Chain A
């Protein structure tokens, strides 16, 4: 399959039709309500987005995305730094690109993962500030927590995986798992819009859970490599 695939919204809601240019049409399995709500141009889906990767490719892409994501963070859970310059006195301009996410050439601007908070620069700072001498980075021996990134545990093959991170400040799943998210992190069922119906965060990641920080699984849940 070559070139950009064009997905055209059909006349009736939810009836998406893909035209690969060969005259044949088929129902597209991907776009759903969440997709359309979160994507500025839901009718256009590039080819590489529209086709779920083969499993082996997906695992490789997933691992690569973990590394890419980590590059902008001191540790898992730290707010990412901003990999571009910003207008200091116009923080509201963040929303122009990050409210819904967009793609410009080979750059992706991800959608905000949390509910809208107006003071963006409270947590996010430029990776390269004005007047930075590249050779003057202070040596620091901190080694941050890293995400294993290989998905959550499943009770059995085919069970929906548990979310391997907190939902706090990550309520907008499509930020990372949607159109402008990370390669290898998109599910094959983006048409489903209520993620939390099937996927719950593991209690060890949720501060307000009494089992916060305790990784042991409760009785009755088999570990991944268990019998």
Chain B
């Protein structure tokens, strides 16, 4: 009764179309589904329906097999362009993530140190009380695991409802430097390229990217071409040997932070050899560098100042192959080889990266430099020629970046600091002018620092509501951040989640959430593809949708007369009406799925924002039919909705004017040109020394997704990768006198953890470097990591800090 599947939705949509048109004409909000459109099929049969995978940002589609109200099987979706029927081991087992025995099934309040079950009514009252008491000290922290509708509800709740920008999300730890790289270069976020480039490139360059484990399906799109007899060269730029290296043609090891030198070395070669694509650069690019720091030492503006080609060439002069070898450890002849490669017009080159370039205190710089060498050499905008960042969360793009669930953004790529953008949002949300705040909120690291500092010592955040993420596991330098919350009596942590986590361990109030196919939802993947699924099974116990939780609290605040929860006409922010104009009480859980499709109502309201930055989205029902569509999705004259593959390229992007070839229509310099940046090599903030002689790099492994709260409850994945370890070079292990399986302490200036050593295991670091995966909640490696972050993106560097490794007696 409560579940509506795709076939029924489409049938009902067709029926509703006529009424909808009538409703629009009369200004009544949309009827979406009539209650009689209930499923008719027998409950016994095995049913299959599509959904995007719950895990990474690749955005594979799966077919979900359900029987008697439970997920019983998963298949790769053969109709999906992303994965063409193939999955990785996590995707094949994603259905098991619903059935860990310790699912959270009722709200719980910490009472005398223990979490005690309470009713939803009481839980929501507690949340409303905390917010109403001090709305200016309340913050929301979410992630790219929010569906689009959920993120939109949270964003509207805080920005329109509370008039603050105190919301941030896990993509700050994950994608923020990719965003600042795109904005600095193209004036607008998200990759111009698509996954089709993987099928078309001659050379793939992986910049600190262990794609075989992190984006296995995309890696297979590359390497499976070899099995078909095609030639694709893979160049692995890396700090340690990984499974990716095993299938690479060239493995070039670089010292941590050496990527900045390598990129400058390639640009230097192009300039010196005269192999820049001068026609492309002359027509479509400007050169840029950072301005001077302010008198008070303030960071120069992110959008920089102009420079001429001659100045650019001069700035690159120090980056000779020999100098780059000194800085990066990559042999000079390999730098020459890379320079020659980019200098060739007859090779299509696809650069790919993920956390290696983003989790970097110069993340914005290295992102700009890689875009720069692609633009300088004209390896841009043709199939196979692209610089594409890959995302870690299923909707880091779709929700955090596009819906703008970050402290500086409004939906649709609009900025809170831009008065014009705020006015647009006020119009879409029907708010009186001036309601929205122009003050940037707090980014993740700062947010949790304030939350973990006594209120009278500047810790001006007292209540945080965390949804769909696990910051007490993933924030860097945990000992000096959120983990200190346990000692602070006046702080209140609300956590919506599906399992007990390192964060629920600190929570004062725990709210049980529905997950994945237990609810309707939409995600947006790394290649601008927006994807949809319908609820297929009921959540366990009293678990409920994250969006419903937010909406229900909003309604409580509205009922109490909190002024922000109404629009300028006095209507509730999430007002939803049936076809007769009668309000549907979507704040009541039993009505949330029965009378309407709230997900559609939220999406179609959000969709209006997508037009301002040429990120056009199609109506909800188009996504119900498709295996995702890549924006901008524009309606043709024949009524068909058409997606876009290569952005800014004529013939592919509908917003590029005829005859332009390429057009960067969001150009920072307002002249349709992209920016080629010069950014110098700069040393990392902490380097190994006598006391802390090793570099520590952290990251993921194939089997576990992020903090492991789902994948560690899947027996097949847990058995294969049961616990964290420290990986080191055998020469270092010999010098320390430790063997595989023996325990060591990994210690930094900030904290320490005990871990078993694994030699010759999943990866093989260079001498002087160690690697620890972060999925394990037992030894929390983020007690050791460094909280230093990029000055523009505010993204921390989890990839390099100095540690000592001490054998346990």
Q: Is the CB of B101 within 8 A of A141?
A: yes
**Cβ-based interface call for A221 (8 A):** no
Question: What is the CB-to-nearest-CB distance from A65 to chain B, in angstroms, rounded to a whole number?
Answer: 20
Establish whether residues B715 and A138, one from each chain, have CB atoms under 8 Å apart when the complex forms.
yes
Instruction: Indicate whether B243 reaches chain A with its CB closer than 8 angstroms.
Output: yes
Q: Which of B100, B719, B760, B761 has a CB less than 8 Å from the CB of A139?
A: B100
- Within 8 Å CB of A79, what residues of B? 89, 92
Q: Among A39-47, A52-60, A112-120, which stretch is in contact with chain B? A: A112-120
Is residue A159 within 8 Å, beta carbon to beta carbon, of the partner chain? no
Separation of A131 and B95 alpha carbons in the complex (Å): 25
Given A123-B89, A124-B89, residue A207 in contact with residue B63 (CB < 8 A): yes
Complex-state Cα separation, A204 to B77, whole angstroms: 15
Asked if B226 and A138 make an inter-chain contact with CB atoms under 8 angstroms apart, the answer reads no
Determine the chain B residues whose CB is within 8 A of the CB of A137 once the complex forms: 715, 718-719
A187: chain B residues within 8 A (beta carbon): none
Complex: A164 Cα to B224 Cα, angstroms = 28
Determine whether the beta carbon of A125 is less than 8 Å from that of B720: yes
A168 nearest in chain B by CB position: B85
Q: B303: CB under 8 A from chain A?
A: no
Q: Is A169 at the interface (CB under 8 A from chain B)?
A: yes
Contact with A along B219-255 (1 / 0, CB 8 A): 1100110110000000000000111011100000000
User: From residue B578, how far is it (CB to closest CB) to chain A in Å?
Assistant: 33
Q: Is the interface of B mostly helix, strand, loop or mixed?
A: mixed
Contact flag A118-B224 (CB < 8 Å), given A78-B93, A125-B703: yes
Identify which of B67-75, B116-124, B284-292, B403-411 touches chain A. B67-75
Interface check A106, CB cutoff 8 A? no
The count of residues in chain A whose C-beta lies closer than 8 Å to any C-beta of chain B is 47
CA distance A89 to B702 in the complex (A): 13
Interface centre among A130, A168, A213, A215 (most CB of B within 10 A): A130
Interface residues of B (CB under 8 A from A): 45-48, 63, 65, 67, 70-75, 77-79, 85-89, 92-93, 95-96, 98-102, 212, 216-217, 219-220, 223-224, 226-227, 241-243, 245-247, 702-703, 712-723, 725, 740-741, 756, 758, 760-764
Task: Output the least CB separation between B677 and chain A (Å).
Answer: 34
Given A76-B73, A78-B92, A78-B93, decide whether A125 and B717 contact each other with a Cβ distance below 8 A. yes
Q: Is A88 at the interface (CB under 8 A from chain B)?
A: yes
Do A138 and B718 contact each other (CB < 8 Å), given the known contacts A88-B761, A144-B73? yes
Residues from chain B with a CB closer than 8 A to the CB of A124 are: 89
- Starting from the known contacts A140-B714, A168-B78, 19 additional A-B residue pairs (CB-CB under 8 Å) come to A74-B96, A74-B715, A76-B73, A89-B762, A117-B224, A118-B223, A118-B227, A119-B216, A119-B220, A122-B220, A124-B89, A136-B722, A138-B101, A138-B714, A138-B715, A139-B101, A145-B67, A207-B79, A213-B48
Q: Verify B85–A131 contact, CB threshold 8 A.
A: no
Q: How far is the CB of A79 from chain B (nearest CB, A)?
A: 6
Indicate the member of B72, B219, B719 with the most A CB atoms within 10 Å: B719
User: In the complex, A118→B75 CA distance in Å?
Assistant: 20
Q: How far is the CA of A75 from the CA of B62 in the complex (A)?
A: 15
Cβ 8 A contact of A138, one of B712, B740, B764: B712
Q: State A192–B699 Cα separation when bound (angstroms).
A: 50
Flag whether A143 is at the interface (Cβ < 8 A).
yes
- If A81-B716, A140-B713 touch, whether A145 touches B721 (CB-CB below 8 Å) is no
A14 beta carbon closer than 8 Å to chain B: no
Indicate if the CB atoms of B87 and A119 lie closer than 8 Å. no
Given contacts A89-B764, A122-B212, contact A140 B46 (CB under 8 A): no
Pairwise interchain contact A123-B720, C-beta atoms closer than 8 A: no
- B713 (CB) vs chain A CBs: closest residue: A138
Chain A residues, Cβ within 8 Å of B47: 213
Contact digits for A121-158, partner B, Cβ 8 Å, 1 yes 0 no: 11111111111110011111111110000000000000
Query: Pick the contact of B243 from A121, A144, A168 — CB < 8 Å?
Result: A121
**Minimum distance in angstroms from B398 CB to a CB of chain A:** 24
Q: Indicate if the CB atoms of A142 and B71 lie closer than 8 Å.
A: yes
Contact yes or no, A131 B72, CB < 8 A: no
The CA-CA distance from A212 to B725 in the complex, in Å, is 44
A197 at the interface (CB under 8 A from B): no
User: How far does the alpha carbon of A127 sit from the alpha carbon of B720 in the complex, in Å?
Assistant: 6
Q: Give Cα A196–Cα B88 distance, bound, in whole angstroms.
A: 28
A169 CA to B65 CA, complexed, in Å: 18
Q: Does A160 contact B (CB under 8 A)?
A: no
Bound-state CA distance A216–B276 (Å) is 63
Contact A129 B719 (CB under 8 A): yes
11 CB-based A-B contacts, threshold 8 Å: A89-B243, A89-B764, A91-B247, A118-B226, A122-B89, A122-B216, A122-B217, A127-B719, A130-B725, A131-B722, A142-B71
- Asked if A51 is an interface residue, CB under 8 A from chain B, the answer is no
Q: Please name the residue on chain A nearest to B68 by beta carbon.
A: A143
Closest to B225 in A: A118
A131-B715 in contact given A116-B227, A123-B92 (Cβ < 8 Å): no
Q: A75-B72, A207-B79 are in contact. Are A126 and B720 (CB under 8 A)?
A: yes
Bound CA–CA A137/B224 (angstroms): 34
Q: How far is the CA of A215 from the CA of B48 in the complex (A)?
A: 12
Contacts of B741 in A (CB 8 A): 131
Give chain A residues whose Cβ lies under 8 Å from the Cβ of B73. Answer: 75-78, 144-145
- What separation, in Å, do the CA atoms of A32 and B71 have in the docked complex? 42
A112 and B763 alpha carbons, distance in the complex (Å)? 26
A218 at the interface (CB under 8 A from B): no
CB of A25 within 8 Å of the partner chain: no
